[in-house]
Chain A
């Protein structure tokens, strides 16, 4: 399957009197690991939810394109996987029961499911915890299970909202390792994070601050252009690159 690309144009989102997004425009292309970087309240989750079709923009547009030009969200949705920021798994269901549940939601063929779940459990090293309930998993394992559920159907668009939030440094490193492996395919991956050091792990970053896009581009180029040593410096200075 050819990958999708996404372009947002002047994206604004209001919640009552509060404007969470103030005209955000950026491009996301397949085969690259994109990072949506920003501090708390920057508008990352709102952007993710808009891209996942869970919110409607107040103004602006989101254009999804395939190899042959623009496509509808319905078409993108068939291959879209989303992992919310907040805990969204069922604490009383085991790892295996989660996989079975999502297999049925995605209507995967038994052979595809068997192969895919084996692969994913192997990569995430959750195989030995198949029978453990999600509520009893550690923070890192819980996030990995969320990622497995999202990846079970080999998505073409993967939106991960702060997947490493609250996860220990070793698990974070493992998590990013998994994402690098995925980005090698034709998959569009957008990962939001408030950990500034994670920005440098992405191929492209989009810096959000108070609902505005500060900058988009390759991490090193952005740092160089801003004359900053780190992304933290950029946010502290609120320098527009």
Chain B
């Protein structure tokens, strides 16, 4: 065996530099991606949970109750809202239109005025474990501010709040992470599987033959979506079984509703993969695109790790276009809250629109000739 030759290694390196310089995608990926991701997610990710919708069920209506609402509002973390007549505070938590609820019973203001300690109940949505824990952490600060404003300096505790975590009483983190992870895994799997399929046809030359036959783009798309859809649905069964049997995640809702959410989400993800595949035409590029657009947004912008509510307005709007965000909400709603379709109409509508939109876009971009 010949010894290591720096000259030959240099020749290989020089050839590699030529490859990189002649491949604008790799160059853009290496130089542009870190800058883009740091800037993008640096703005989007905020560990502080803000703008928490607090459904206040004020059966007291007295001055102390009003002041307590002002204290919650002034904290900057909470946005007190009137409970919807039909749904009530718990219904709002079920549907995700509120993340916390405050119950104030009649006599709350009178008890405080009389120097007593009034009871209050604080109910948090425990289906989002990290958010619930963060919100619970704000309560001592609120209690301190309330003490100053309601009882005055040197005064005692004006109220004692019983805090309850709905849907996940002990804030079992697995109940929260497993359904969330399943959304990420299912989504990524679906995107990756289809991202390669059309690109593979272009790369191995079979697309040229296929396009010369009477087959239509919609037929190619449907023919590619259905088998991979079934494959990913089979994956969903395994994810479901391991969630239930290994991690003991409860399942409070309807299985048919869960299946419908999975079908919509998988359709959206498969269509996203097809769109990538149609645009990329090369498996390697398609794979990189699939990972960047499939994994990162679903990890960081779906509400899995960082609450959507705490993101800046622009990123909150952006998450509306991400199917994992809506699937995450639907799955947590179904599994942990036992929510029904009426309570999950928003995520279902969004998933349906995204699936249809992504499919239409992939179809529009599907090339029926070999023009560059």
Contacts and interface: CB of A to CB of B under 8 A. Distances in A.
A27 to B, nearest CB: 22
A87 B205 contact: yes
B173 interface: no
Main secondary structure of the interface of B (DSSP, over half): loop
A132 B371 CA distance: 34
A73 B206 CA distance: 22
A227 B204 CA distance: 43
Given A86-B205, A86-B208, A87-B204, A49 B370 contact: yes
A102 B214 CA distance: 10
Given A54-B370, A55-B371, A106 B208 contact: no
A90 B211 CA distance: 15
B372 interface: yes
B342 interface: no
Interface in A47-85: 49, 52-56, 77-78, 80-84
Contacts of A55: 369-371
Given A53-B369, A56-B371, A102 B205 contact: no
B209 interface: yes
Contacts of B3: none
B39 interface: no
Given A55-B369, A55-B371, A84 B205 contact: yes
A147 to B, nearest CB: 12
A178 B212 CA distance: 22
Given A54-B370, A55-B369, A90 B213 contact: no
Contact of A82 (B206, B207, B209): B209
Q: Pick from A16, A86, A149 the residue with the most CB of B within 10 Å.
A: A86
B205 A105 contact: no
A146 B210 CA distance: 12
A88 B214 contact: no
A52 B209 CA distance: 10
B214 A106 contact: yes
A89 interface: yes
B245 interface: no
B209 A88 contact: yes
A28 to B, nearest CB: 17
Nearest to A78: B214
B215 interface: yes
A95 to B, nearest CB: 15
Interface in B208-258: 208-209, 211-215
Contacts of B208: 49, 54, 84, 86, 88
A9 to B, nearest CB: 20
Name the 10 nearest CB pairs between A and B, nearest first: A82-B212, A88-B209, A88-B205, A86-B205, A84-B208, A54-B370, A105-B213, A88-B206, A54-B369, A52-B212
28 contacts: A49-B208, A52-B212, A53-B212, A54-B208, A54-B211, A54-B369, A54-B370, A55-B371, A56-B369, A56-B371, A78-B214, A84-B205, A84-B209, A86-B208, A87-B204, A87-B205, A88-B206, A88-B207, A88-B209, A89-B206, A89-B209, A90-B204, A91-B204, A102-B213, A105-B213, A106-B213, A106-B214, A107-B214
